[in-house]
Amino acid sequence: MDKLIKIQACAVGLLLLQACGFEPLHMRHKESPAGHTMIEGLSIDRIPDREGQILRNYLIDFLDPVHQGAPAHPRQFLEVTLKKTKATMAIRKDGTTSRYQIILNGDVTLWDQDRKKRLITEKVRAVNSYSVGEISAGAAYSTNISEKDATHKALRLMAEEIQMLLKTHPHVTGIR
C-alpha cells in the first residue's frame, strides 16, 4: 500500500512540475539538436593557438548547432582566454612520470553589443589526465596521442561548462 502511495505522489509531483513551466537544461528541441542551446546574435571571438581553435569549434557546435554562421549584427560577443598547463600526477619507482594531468583554465567574458559593458565575467576550469607508457621507441607516439585525446576531452568539458554558464545566466539574450 505504501508503494502505491509513493508512486501516486511522484506522479502528482511530476504533473505539477510540468505545469509550472519547468524545462530540463539538457532537453532536446526541434531548433537545436542534441539538446544544445541556440543563442541568437552571439558572436564568438577567435581564441589563439590550436587548443583555442578546438574550443571555439566546440562552442560553435554547442551554441549554434544548426550552423547559421556568425550573425551579421551581433547583440553579444563571447571572449575566452585559455591557458593550458601540464603537471606530473604519478611517478614510477625509477623516477619517471607515469601519469600527467592536463589543466585548462579559461576566462570567459560576455560583452554587450558595443563592447562597452561586461555582462558576464567568469572563470572556467577543466581537468583531464593520461598515462605515459614505458620509455621506448613506440611509447612516444602513444603518449603523444594520449595527451591530444586528454586535451580534446578537457576542451569539450570546458565548452560544455561555458554553454551551461551562458544558458543559465540572466544577462544572456536570444536563447532558444
- CA 58 – CA 65 distance, rounded (Å): 10
What is the per-residue pLDDT across 36-79, written as a single tens digit (0 to 9) for each?
A: 556 677 888 999 999 999 999 999 888 876 666 666 777 888 99
Residue 10: pLDDT band with limits 50, 70, 90:
confident
Q: What is the pLDDT of residues 94-130, one digit of tens each?
A: 888 888 999 999 999 998 888 888 888 999 999 999 9
The CA distance from 63 to 166, in Å, is 9
Per-residue model confidence (pLDDT) at position 30: 47
Please tell me the least confidently modeled range out of 10-14, 102-106, 135-139, 144-148. Answer: 135-139
| Domain edges within the chain | 29-168
Is 59 within 8 Å of 47 (Cβ atoms)? no
In CATH, which of 3.40.50.1360, 3.30.160.150, 3.40.50.150, 1.10.10.10 is domain 29-168?
3.30.160.150
Instruction: Provide, rounded to the nearest whole percent, the portion of the chain with pLDDT above 70.
Output: 75
pTM across the whole model: 0.73
**What is the band of 148 on the pLDDT scale with cuts at 50, 70, 90?**
very high
In this structure, which amino acid lies at residue 81? T
The overall average pLDDT reported for the chain is: 80
Q: What is the DSSP string of the chain?
A: -HHHHHHHHHHHHHHHHHHTT---TT---SSSGGGPPPBTTEEEPP-SHHHHHHHHHHHHHHH-TT---S-SS-SEEEEEEEEEEEEEEEE-TTS-EEEEEEEEEEEEEEE-TTS-SEEEEEEEEEEEEEE---SSTTHHHHHHHHHHHHHHHHHHHHHHHHHHHHHH-TT---B-
- Identity (one letter) of the amino acid at 8? Q
